[in-house]
Amino acid sequence: MRLLVPIIALVLALAAAVSLDRPLPPADFVLIDRSDVYTLDPQRMSYQHELRRARVLYEPLVNLRAADCAVVPGVAERWEVSPDGLTYTFHLRDDAKWSNGDPVTSEDFRYTWRRAILPDSAADYSGLFFAIAGAKEFFDAREAMTTEFAATHAAAPSPADAEALWKRTAELFDTTVGLRAPDARTLVVTLKAPVAYFLDLCAFPCFAPVHPPTVEAFVSIDPTSGRLIQRHDWTKPGRIVVNGPYMPTIWRYKRDMRLEQNPHYWNKDAVVAKTIECRTVENANTGVLSFQSGAADWLTDLGPEYRTEMIAERRAYLERFKADLEAGLARGGRVDDVVAALPPPGEGERRDARGFSAFGTDFFSFNCRPELPGGKLNPFSDARVRRAFALAVDKQALVDRVTRLNEHVASTLVPHGTIAGYPIVEGLGYDPDRARAELKAAGWDDRDGDGIVENAEGVKFPTVDILYSTSSPRYQNLALAMRDMWKRELRVAAECRSKDSKLYKNDLQKGNFMIARGGWYGDYGDPTTWLDLQQSQNGNNDRGYRNPEFDRRLAEASGETDPALRLRKLAEVERWLFNEEMPMLPICNYVSVYMYDPVETAGITDHPRLEQDLSVLGPRRDAATGSAP
Amino acid sequence: MSAPSVSTGALILRRLVQLPFIVLAVYTLTFILAWSVPGNPLENPEGRRPPAEIVEAMKKQYKLDDPVAFYVDYLEKASGIGYLRGTTDRVFDLGPSLKQPDWNVNEILATGLPVSITLGLSAMILALMIGLFAGLVGGLRPGSPADLATQLVAIVGISLPSFVIGSALLMLLAVKLKLFPVGGWGGLSFIALPALTLSLPFAAYISRLVRFGMIEEMGADYIRTARAKGLTRARVALRHALKNAFLPVLSYLGPATAVALTGSFVVEKVFAVPGVGQHFVDGVLGKDITLVMGVVLVYSTLMVVFNLVVDVMYRFVDPRIA
């Protein structure tokens, strides 16, 4: 009997623990993400789901309208651009308020942008701010000041000296960086050179303001290095102060976040759902089952395990109603509205999963370095070899039979139709005859008829080393399929080598590969977010492609002041890059797959930049589409 | 099996003196392993790379450029010495998470540990109930259809991995029959499925222990004596035989509970339970060194204390050990 006593005590303790953790009342809109947001500090964000959350918490000077990615007023109700394109004057609206009732001022923006530029903040996107006059100089000067300070104070910490250093830094910012606040409602930004997409940048969440007193309460100065130490405790509900349509009221680590309407938001009448619950479910299987059990309105990332099957079921459904769908679209209806009005799906069909072509491109990098690590021969340093390998890949077959997500095949980097005014650029397509000719022109040919390709000195073409990461079976499948294509069309042998994400990254940086999987998502609505990747000095230039000619052409085109001409010039650079230089082999545009029922949920945009606006998502309201209560 | 038997007080004292050395050894080993993995926690493994100067700035801030400084600094703050010296304002400061800058490791453990403990203890209680019942059913009628059935279930319970059992339970009880929510946490209905999944291997093992114990004890002389005295079979079984048959279960419960508390990450993943196990695995994969070190420190301390408690309890229940 004595044994029962501890067990009863355990049960009671458990009951107490359980009763403390009660479920919350249901929210108006529930979404499921694959991972929790890493931070609610908008200057430190870089992931898509974080930026999506930030868009409804922090309102920047201007917003991107989800439907078409047009720049519309945010905190700034209007703005002027000087004729030389260098000076932007923003006029802030009177009723822009923080969630604690404080007005949003131009000083708040200066404070926020200063903290984004400071090297102390270690922000991923500091580089975007270098478009502002003096920003890069300020960054370098601060870096030099703290390095020098650390050298003299590492052994002799001095809070007073660190404080003085910070004062000098703040003064330096005021005098060097092109950011002025003549009054609380006006912000004047001076750029280093005209940036055609500057307004688009201003809509990026990293440019959205934070509430200075709230953030400043957790900043201290390290007396040994002179650097600012930023603690992020201010992002927790209860402390956090925001200026967007929603504010977080509950945030439980890797579990859920609850957003409630910000009562002080100036445009709160336009907000659809009063409360939003963002749940984190890492397991793809559990996420799908949760959605199907009705626990969520939107599953933001359908795992690779389900994608092909569900996309196929959607295709089967749309195939049955092809005529109705086409008629509806011809009348100018949006896909979701037309699909919601169709009869319900039958066995083996579905309409609650949808793939969207995204602002991202899947590619494989060619190693363009003169030689491989260890001084080994690198045939891919020759553009003719790169062209040959690109021409020998049948991308449509890859998309149809390997990835099977109905992706758009890509021959260039910038996804077609994503940037208004940017022409459609085509690169090299599938042409095995020309591929063999290019390889021959590069000196690689089967000279002795033994089925092996060699050069004039009789050196065999080295076995091609294809590197990919084990993060998804997609890359392995693509690598294997291309290996077979190259074997068939070019008679070269290739070997696939898989590495864990971290080791793969390591090999990429060291240039230890011949062909490696890559991929890129654009950050802002301008071709340079893509083309900059090929710049000699770019930190993401994994290809080791260093071509002063390209750098010169890109700088010349992006510096053009006439916006329409500038886009045409950039398109010309891209055309040259993907017809002649070929530093990478684009495969297709990425597809994002969501699960949501178009009958129940409205407001999801299919603009390829996929800037979903949580504040307009909610139940479908119009009766005409037949939404049942 | 220590040769000279020691008093309980001496045992506790000796273990408590050992504790910091054991934890230090675990800390050092984890540190070496965590630092020998290539890659950088400040980089997004799949994403873009920040400019080199920014990475350098971040490395400096988190002392990632100097392993020795990191080792000493972290140990000082985590052990409480830092608090006494005034270098940190938390008593045991396990550092900021390198991957989740808004959270420090103390906060992550504070949200995750109660969840993992609730799940682990619920599973152990379920395992005891199921295991005892199944063991008694089989042990009292060896070879009967009921015995064969429970043994079969026990073998399946031990050999099937929990992600298979968990997914099957999800499909059947949550999706098809809609008796429980699919995943998440908050309230008894959310605990039921993950606790059941986690408990099954333990329940299976306990049922086999009880079954063998009961078969052995029911054939012993003192049972025959008790039966001859006129006691009913049920009374003999529950009052006398079970008492002795339960002792191996008790010694198994110690390590089993520790495993249930710390080894629940698969179940946590399958049922989207926000416990420490999941956070720890994510920390290892993302090279979140401070999070990994913090969890290992807390868990190794818990393990040592837990084993001590079980040893003391065992002496209390069975005085022959002491």
Q: Chains A and B: how many Cβ contacts under 8 Å? A: 172
Nearest to A621 by CA among A394, A340, A432, A350: A340
Place of tokens 């005014």: A421
Task: Please name the member of B49, B187, B269 whose beta carbon is closest to the beta carbon of A283.
Answer: B269
Report the gap between the CA of A622 and the closest CA in chain B (Å): 31
Beta strands in A501-627 (DSSP E): 515-517, 520-521, 584-595, 601-602, 618-619
pLDDT of A7 reads 66
Among A90-99, A213-222, A225-234, A299-308, name the most confident range.
A90-99
pLDDT of B3 reads 42
Chain-chain contact of A18 with B103 (C-beta, under 8 angstroms): no
A190-224: b (≥16 Cβ within 10 Å) or e: ebeebbbbbbbbbbbbbbbbbbbebbeeebebbbe
Chain-chain contact of B171 with A289 (C-beta, under 8 angstroms): yes
Q: Do strands A29-33 and A275-280 pair parallel, antiparallel, or not at all (unpaired)?
A: parallel
Tokens coding B173: 């009880």
B270 contacts on A by Cβ (under 8 Å): 283, 285-286
B46-97 confidence digits (pLDDT tens)? 555 555 655 666 677 777 878 888 888 888 888 888 888 877 778 888 888 8
* C-alpha span between B94 and A171 (Å, rounded): 36
Q: Which of B36, B55, B99, B102 to mutate against chain A (most A CBs within 10 Å)?
A: B102
3-state helix/strand/coil string of B246-277:
CHHHHHHHHHHHHHHHHCCHHHHHHCCCCCHH
Answer whether A218 touches B (CB < 8 Å): no
Task: Please name the member of A18, A124, A143 whose beta carbon is closest to the beta carbon of B53.
Answer: A143
Residues in chain B: 322
Distances (CA, A) of B196 to B189, B199, B202, B264, B291: 12, 5, 10, 12, 28
* In contact, A511 and A372? CB cutoff 8 Å: yes
pLDDT of residue A586 exceeding 70, the answer is yes
Nearest to A494 by CA among A467, A462, A463: A463
Which segments of B80-141 does DSSP mark as H helices, in order?
81-85, 105-140
* In contact, B225 and B148? CB cutoff 8 Å: no
Place of tokens 């108006």: A28
Which of A150-164, A202-216, A329-343 is predicted least confidently?
A150-164
Nearest to A370 by CA among A530, A552, A547, A509: A547
* C-alpha span between A66 and A379 (Å, rounded): 45
ipTM more than 0.90? no
pLDDT of A623 reads 42
Over residues A588-599, the mean pLDDT reads 95
pLDDT of A9 reads 65
Chain-chain contact of A23 with B186 (C-beta, under 8 angstroms): yes
Q: For residue B43, what pLDDT band results from cuts at 50, 70 and 90?
A: low
Report the gap between the CA of B150 and the closest CA in chain A (Å): 24
B278 contacts on A by Cβ (under 8 Å): 254, 282
A338-385 confidence digits (pLDDT tens)? 999 999 999 999 999 999 999 999 999 999 999 999 899 999 999 999
Chain-chain contact of B174 with A289 (C-beta, under 8 angstroms): yes
Q: For residue B1, what pLDDT band results from cuts at 50, 70 and 90?
A: very low
Instruction: Give me the residues of A, 24-53, that contact B with CB < 8 A.
Output: 24, 36, 38-41, 44, 46-47
Which of A39-53, A511-525, B82-96, B126-140 is predicted least confidently?
B82-96
Answer whether A271 touches B (CB < 8 Å): no
Which segments of B62-104 does DSSP mark as H helices, in order?
67-79, 81-85
Task: Please name the member of A120, A253, A501 whose beta carbon is closest to the beta carbon of B108.
Answer: A253
Work out whether the CA dihedral B270, B275, B280, B286 comes out positive or negative. positive
* C-alpha span between A284 and B182 (Å, rounded): 12
Task: Please name the member of B102, B128, B282 whose beta carbon is closest to the beta carbon of A39.
Answer: B102
Report the gap between the CA of A492 and the closest CA in chain B (Å): 30
Q: Which residue of A has its CA nearest to B110?
A: A253
pTM (whole model) above 0.90: no
Q: Which of A37, A227, A283, A500 to mutate against chain B (most B CBs within 10 Å)?
A: A283
Chain-chain contact of A253 with B171 (C-beta, under 8 angstroms): no
Report the gap between the CA of B219 and the closest CA in chain A (Å): 23
Chain-chain contact of B100 with A253 (C-beta, under 8 angstroms): yes
Beta strands in A556-610 (DSSP E): 584-595, 601-602
Strand partners, A256: A252, A279
Chain-chain contact of B125 with A127 (C-beta, under 8 angstroms): no
Q: Which of A51, A242, A505, A537 to mutate against chain B (most B CBs within 10 Å)?
A: A505
* C-alpha span between B30 and B212 (Å, rounded): 40
* In contact, A494 and A487? CB cutoff 8 Å: yes
Q: For residue B288, what pLDDT band results from cuts at 50, 70 and 90?
A: confident
Q: Which residue of B has its CA nearest to A470?
A: B46
Radius of gyration of chain B (CA): 24
Q: For chain A, give the percent of residues with pLDDT over 70.
A: 96
pLDDT of A44 reads 85
| Angle of CA points A291, A34, A45, to nearest 5° | 135
Residue B160's contacts (CB-CB under 8 Å, 6 or more residues apart) are: none
> Phi-psi category of A207—alpha, beta or left, where left has phi over 0 and alpha has psi -120 to 50?
alpha
Q: For residue A622, what pLDDT band results from cuts at 50, 70 and 90?
A: low
Over residues A504-508, the mean pLDDT reads 88
A16 contacts on B by Cβ (under 8 Å): none
pLDDT of residue A23 exceeding 80, the answer is no
Q: For residue B322, what pLDDT band results from cuts at 50, 70 and 90?
A: low
* In contact, A410 and A574? CB cutoff 8 Å: no
Question: For all residues of chain A together, what is the average pLDDT?
Answer: 91
Instruction: Give me the residues of A, 287-316, that contact B with CB < 8 A.
Output: 287, 289-290, 292-293, 295
Work out whether the CA dihedral B90, B91, B97, B100 comes out positive or negative. negative
pLDDT of B310 reads 74
* C-alpha span between A137 and B241 (Å, rounded): 83
Q: Do strands A275-280 and A256-261 pair parallel, antiparallel, or not at all (unpaired)?
A: antiparallel
B170-223 confidence digits (pLDDT tens)? 889 988 888 888 888 877 888 899 999 999 999 999 999 999 999 988 888 888
Chain-chain contact of B271 with A285 (C-beta, under 8 angstroms): no
pLDDT of residue B12 exceeding 60, the answer is yes
pLDDT of B5 reads 63
Which of A527-536, B125-134, B237-246 is predicted least confidently?
B237-246
pLDDT of B321 reads 62
Chain-chain contact of B187 with A41 (C-beta, under 8 angstroms): no
Task: Please name the member of A3, A22, A539 whose beta carbon is closest to the beta carbon of B186.
Answer: A22
Chain-chain contact of A143 with B57 (C-beta, under 8 angstroms): yes
* In contact, A277 and A263? CB cutoff 8 Å: no
Distances (CA, A) of A346 to A102, A297, A314, A339, A354: 54, 21, 11, 14, 17
Instruction: Give CA torsion, residues A618, A622, A624, A627, to 10 deg.
Output: 40
Q: Which residue of B has its CA nearest to A539?
A: B51
Q: Which residue of B has its CA nearest to A505?
A: B45
* C-alpha span between A504 and A494 (Å, rounded): 18
pLDDT of residue A400 exceeding 50, the answer is yes
Q: For residue A465, what pLDDT band results from cuts at 50, 70 and 90?
A: very high
Report the gap between the CA of A414 and the closest CA in chain B (Å): 17
Nearest to A51 by CA among A250, A253, A212, A208: A208
Over residues A180-200, the mean pLDDT reads 95
pLDDT of B47 reads 54
Side chain identity at residue B240, one-letter code:
H
Answer whether A245 touches B (CB < 8 Å): no
Distances (CA, A) of A108 to A97, A171, A184: 11, 17, 9
Which segments of A118-211 does DSSP mark as H helices, in order?
135-153, 159-176, 198-202
Work out whether the CA dihedral B48, B54, B55, B59 comes out positive or negative. negative
Q: Which of A11, A19, A38 to mutate against chain B (most B CBs within 10 Å)?
A: A38
A34-63 confidence digits (pLDDT tens)? 989 988 999 988 788 999 999 999 999 999
* C-alpha span between B141 and A458 (Å, rounded): 81
pLDDT of B50 reads 57
A23 contacts on B by Cβ (under 8 Å): 186-187, 190
pLDDT of residue B45 exceeding 90, the answer is no
* C-alpha span between A22 and A261 (Å, rounded): 22
| Angle of CA points A565, A568, A573, to nearest 5° | 125
Residue B96 is given by DSSP the state B
Chain-chain contact of B269 with A282 (C-beta, under 8 angstroms): yes
Side chain identity at residue A153, one-letter code:
H
pLDDT of B59 reads 76
H-run or E-run covering A228: strand A228-230
Strand partners, A252: A256
